[in-house]
A and B are shown apart, each in its own frame.
Chain A
Amino acid sequence: MNPLLLWFYQTGSPANFERFAKRWSSWFIWPACALMAWGIYAALVEVPADYQQGNSYRILFIHVPSAWMSLFIYVAMAVNAFIALVWRIKLSELLAMSCAPIGAAFTAITLLTGAFWGKPTWGTWWSWDARMTSELVLLFLYLGVMGLYAAIEDRRAAARAACFLALIGLVNLPIVHYSVVWWNTLHQGATIRLIGKSSIDPAMVPPLIAMTIGTKLWFVGSLLTRTRAALIEQESGKDWVRRLLLPITSRGDTR
């Protein structure tokens, strides 16, 4: 067998993945917390106020990384959904389904902080602008994937249906990303670029990078924890789960 495929099958076996996820999740969550704690401190205290928007722009440091995460997690979900549909790998189904609530969380943060930023800056909480509307559609896609997965009783059939919906929803991603270019509306254009010159003050860059890496690490840690929980629940009839939970269940008996 192809060595890559072999590695994939071995790590992907439920008992092995459970150990892998348990060992590694805190290696992502704690550095994420440290990076975000420093990022938030710098964003609120150290960084100078914006020359035009004053202090309200400090919301950028959570709004923009969360918005990037809302798109990034959708891609991660779609990749896993594709693998799950083509190769019928159970672990990929669970990974894809565990991406959805995290993605929904970051999309909700993006929309709410956007409203809190819009009120003092534009004078309105919400407008049916292309960027905001497509981001709202993204939230509904995440919720739709979660709802569809929860609505069908057969777990494997539910995962396949929800993975299919996740793939269809991919068409929304370029719309979210290019909405500020294609339509000239309320939401401001991109100020931060990987290639070329960003139009923000250099002092604002390090906390933004810390928040961006912090949220990425958080996602990986949260995904491992969520997938582990989903795996244990789905396999709770199997022997390896019984062996795994037995010392804990016997203690829990005194309830």
Chain B
Amino acid sequence: MSEFFAMDGHGVYIWSSYAVFLLILVGDALAPRLRLRRVQRELAQRLRRQAGKGQSSTQPS
């Protein structure tokens, strides 16, 4: 088993390469999802602000 991971001394290079590949692809998959979350949060905030403004204008103090 450890022989398999050592890959005749090339293990470091091989495993680093595959780790880079997987990490970058995971990042690529996460980026648009995080972006959508942020857009949703901003839109919710904007809608809340608008709703707040709407209420204050209909109820004169």
Contact = CB atoms under 8 A, between A and B. Distances in A.
A66 B20 CA distance: 12
B17 A112 contact: yes
By Cβ-Cβ distance, the 8 closest A-B pairs, closest first, are: A249-B44, A229-B32, A55-B7, A56-B10, A113-B17, A116-B13, A116-B17, A226-B32
11 contacts: A44-B18, A49-B8, A59-B17, A66-B21, A105-B25, A116-B13, A218-B25, A222-B28, A225-B29, A225-B33, A253-B48
Given A44-B18, A113-B17, A225-B32, 12 more contacts: A44-B14, A49-B8, A55-B8, A55-B14, A56-B13, A56-B14, A112-B17, A112-B20, A113-B20, A117-B13, A236-B42, A241-B43
Nearest to A252: B44
B17 A54 contact: no
Contacts of A40: 18
Interface of A: 29, 40, 44-45, 49, 54-56, 58-59, 62-63, 66, 101-102, 105, 108-109, 112-113, 116-117, 119-120, 218, 222, 225-226, 228-230, 232-233, 236, 241-242, 245, 248-250, 252-253, 255
Nearest to A222: B28
